[in-house]
A and B are shown apart, each in its own frame.
Chain A
Amino acid sequence: MPADRPLALVAHGAHGLEIAAANEAARALRVQTGAGLADTRAALPALITLPAERDRDRDDLLRLARWCGRYGPARHVDAEDGLWIDITGVGHLFLPKLATGSAAAMPHENDEAGERALLADLTARFSRLGLTARAACADTLGAAHALARFAAEGSFVIAPRGEASSVLAPLPVAALRIDIDAVRLLERLGLRRIGQLYGLPRAALERRFRALNRKDKPGAETIATVLLRLDQALGHYGEPRAPLVQIPDFTARLSFSDPLLIAASVEAALERLCSDLVGMLVEAGAGGRRFCLSLYRSDGTLGEVAVGTSTPCRDEAHIGRLLREKIAHFDAGFGIDLMTLEAHEVAPLDARQQGLDADATGEHARAAARLVDRLSGRLGTRCVMRLLPRASHIPEAAQKHAPALGMDQAKISAAFEASLPTFDGRRPPFLLDPPEPIEVLAAIPEGAPALIVWRRVRRRIVRAEGPERIAPAWWAAYVPRAPEACAGARLTRDYYFIEEASGARYWVFRAGLYDKERDGECGGDDDDPQARTPRWFMHGLMP
């Protein structure tokens, strides 16, 4: 689409289709955002229109916000069309190497120069991506917001430190992040510039606004919002902002003048990042449990890879190995020009002497943690599991599978040790969960099965042991039935250990007692003999 032809995006508004956004050429022809499409078309028949896709705009903006992690860890989307980045203490990183030499002498000036370099870099990169960006740097988010939208004449503007009020004074009140009604109200009162609000007595202002109540919004609330936004812009009132991603505890970064394209060079860079990060962790006497590698592609997209470890870790080789596996099939696109490696969930980790450790179990535990890290990293934490006992006499509830990542061998052993007494009796090594319904032919109603049909195969039973009666938990009647509870969860079970003629052995149970219990879910009324007949289930395969 040529940029010199008028183009507008349209969306459904309160009065039919409205212009949602227009390009430079269209704006030059007085196409206004918010105007009806019909009117605009009448005045400018040559206008090209496309439907606006706000969801995708939002997604793209988020993607851009992620990519902006190269300028500072704390960043997020600002309103519908902006991004904010906290660049406190970041500026000097963007100075040319020669200039950093004088950093100690004049930190203040150096910072400003760094900020300028950062914004120049940012706008240059955006324009290379084909995006028109206006950037501003100020002490507060509110001031930066206002400056970026209403003051930037060149590509960016920087408000000098502590001079937010003088910079903001000539800007229109609309720059204060207030809604259009509030702006109109202020303009009716002759308050057009932000500077005009500075000197006004607040109490009087509130009193005056209270008289201007509208049915949907009281005037007092409007002016309170205006004053809050003003205070925030001037830095009199704090404005906490949740960043897009968690701020890492330690970050190592490596940028490249030539984008990396080959997997081998990315791996080499990863190695260096790992050793940098581990250096920081060693200095702090800490280890991380989550490591996040961000690969910034030169086309403005970002690849992120995260790995977790069982225990706090600062082993360079281990972290590198986990990450290398994840980036094995990474698409470098047009090249990677920046890589950062972050350590999250940092916990203290004492220095350990390598090699002379006589503690075999400790060494073994470390090896186990490594193995679990690697398996979980590639297969997913839900696929690498440990068995954990649970205090229940219902067989399927007596154990659970828990992700092995971060689990302590000693604790698992202790848990099984504690639950040993409950492990009496015959239990199968393979338990079907949920139990599978089977058809059973028994010699006598309360007796052991003589023939079962499981998975459509008839199996003649030659030996049986049982029953072992397992009653439901008495409190189960008082709690609502969990949707995932298996059939017959609230019925008395009679378990039989049976053997087929061929030697295959099973663990089956009958849910419910004849003529006494009925499973509510069996359906049918009292006269229905089917509903009264207890059902049988296959629950496990015995050795």
Chain B
Amino acid sequence: MRLPGGGAVAPFFAPPPAPHSQQARPQQARLEQLRALLATLERRPGFDRGPASVPAAELPEEACWTLGHPDVDGWLPGRHLDAASLGEIKPETYRDLPAALTFALLLASRRLGMDRTGNVAPTVPRPVSPGLVVWCWPARLARECGGLYGPGLVRLGLDPARVLLVETATPAETLWAMEESIASAAASIVIGNLDTVALTPARRLALAAAAHRTPALVVTAARSPAMAATFARWRIAAAPSAQHPLDPAAPGDPRFTLTLERCRGTAMGAALQSSVVEWSHDAHRFRVAAGMADRTSETASWA
């Protein structure tokens, strides 16, 4: 598997490279069998992802959905986001909700993989998925955070012509609309916004996502309990932006404090990864923020 960062890395659950000689120990085969069984039991897509040496152009579609930086992608099993699963995005506090929504948009932008100007984002080998971004949220939230705005989406690398906006009145409607969209072949990614999701609907969404290989993201409220049946849970907070290349007083590329609170397929302790990541508006990818600028002097000048 070739990654944007360069080196070939074995996917987390793919079988290890074949032994050089014929005298493979008998346990080895048994071990592989067990791994395969485990992957099947846990419904983990990725078992069929193939050996590590597949060129990028022949990678299965879902392997192309990454965050765009090897360090952050390294947190994930197989070094990519799971396209056939349910993800949860939580703001750190209520005030970080716009950041969480933006992060969902950015993941969608990575998923679609192509920006409006026709430039394929450099880190994505090819347009990943030709479908729609289905954005389901309660009408109340559209008033609170503002409606989706096409020109702004273009800037995030997301094609506004491919956004299908669904405004719902109740959480049940949101869940229904999400499930319908996941089941449709038209959707590339389905993003929903709910305060909290109970066990059964979460499981339904996860099963639908796995069955139709369409990723679903749910942005939930900061204080609500964690959703069940998710592949990964991200916690997002807004962070002071990067240095502007030309104007020190201006905000630069947006930064987020990104925490991977839970991720299926990683060891429990290793899952809790946190980093400040930066979104590049030019490359349409994330990168790990290169050291925080010392902002005390600027802050002082504004005070």
Which A positions have Cβ atoms within 8 angstroms of B? 360-361, 363-364, 367-368, 370-372, 374-375, 378-379, 383-387, 389, 395, 398-399, 401, 404, 409, 412-413, 415-416, 420, 422-423, 426-433, 450, 460-465, 497-499, 501-505, 540-543
B241→A503 contact, CB < 8 A: yes
Alpha-carbon gap, A363 to B239, bound state (A): 42
Residue from the list B146, B155, B237, B244 in contact with A433, Cβ < 8 A: B146
Q: List 4 additional contacts besides A387-B160, A423-B151; criterion CB under 8 Å.
A: A375-B164, A413-B162, A422-B151, A543-B279
Chain B residues 211-270 with CB under 8 Å of chain A are 237-241, 244, 247, 249-251, 254-255
Chain B residues bordering chain A, tally (CB within 8 A): 66
26 contacts between A and B (CB under 8 A): A361-B130, A363-B185, A367-B184, A367-B185, A375-B180, A385-B167, A387-B160, A401-B147, A420-B116, A423-B116, A423-B154, A423-B155, A426-B155, A430-B148, A430-B149, A462-B295, A462-B298, A462-B302, A463-B298, A464-B250, A465-B247, A504-B238, A541-B145, A542-B152, A543-B105, A543-B156
Q: Which residue of B lies closest to A398 (CB)?
A: B151
Residue from the list A372, A502, A540 in contact with B149, Cβ < 8 A: A540
What's the minimum C-beta distance from A435 to chain B, rounded to whole angstroms?
A: 10
Alpha-carbon gap, A460 to B301, bound state (A): 12
Q: Which of A386, A430, A504 has most chain B Cβ within 10 Å?
A: A430
A429→B148 contact, CB < 8 A: yes
Residue from the list B98, B117, B169, B302 in contact with A541, Cβ < 8 A: B98
B298→A431 contact, CB < 8 A: no
Alpha-carbon gap, A398 to B152, bound state (A): 11
What's the minimum C-beta distance from A22 to chain B, rounded to whole angstroms?
A: 49
Given A427-B152, A430-B148, also A543-B166 (CB < 8 A): no
B149→A463 contact, CB < 8 A: no
Given A387-B160, A429-B149, A429-B156, also A368-B186 (CB < 8 A): yes
Contacts of A462 in B (CB 8 A): 240, 295, 298-299, 302
Q: Across the A-B interface, how many residue pairs have beta carbons closer than 8 Å?
A: 206
Residue from the list B130, B155, B177, B240 in contact with A427, Cβ < 8 A: B155
Q: Let me know if B132 is at the binding interface, CB within 8 A.
A: yes
A384→B251 contact, CB < 8 A: no
B241→A504 contact, CB < 8 A: no
Residue from the list A374, A375, A386, A430 in contact with B163, Cβ < 8 A: A386
Residue from the list B134, B165, B177 in contact with A387, Cβ < 8 A: B165
A364→B131 contact, CB < 8 A: yes
Contacts of B177 in A (CB 8 A): 375, 379
Alpha-carbon gap, A430 to B103, bound state (A): 13
Residue from the list A385, A429, A543 in contact with B165, Cβ < 8 A: A385
Contacts of A398 in B (CB 8 A): 150-151
Q: Let me know if B8 is at the binding interface, CB within 8 A.
A: no
B150→A399 contact, CB < 8 A: yes
Contacts of B158 in A (CB 8 A): 429
Q: Let me know if B176 is at the binding interface, CB within 8 A.
A: yes
Contacts of B105 in A (CB 8 A): 429, 543
Alpha-carbon gap, A374 to B177, bound state (A): 9
Residue from the list A375, A416, A428 in contact with B160, Cβ < 8 A: A416
Given A364-B130, A371-B184, A420-B116, also A430-B152 (CB < 8 A): yes
Alpha-carbon gap, A424 to B166, bound state (A): 27
What's the minimum C-beta distance from A382 to chain B, rounded to whole angstroms?
A: 8
What's the minimum C-beta distance from B6 to chain A, rounded to whole angstroms?
A: 28
Q: Let me know if B99 is at the binding interface, CB within 8 A.
A: yes
Residue from the list A415, A422, A433, A450 in contact with B302, Cβ < 8 A: A450
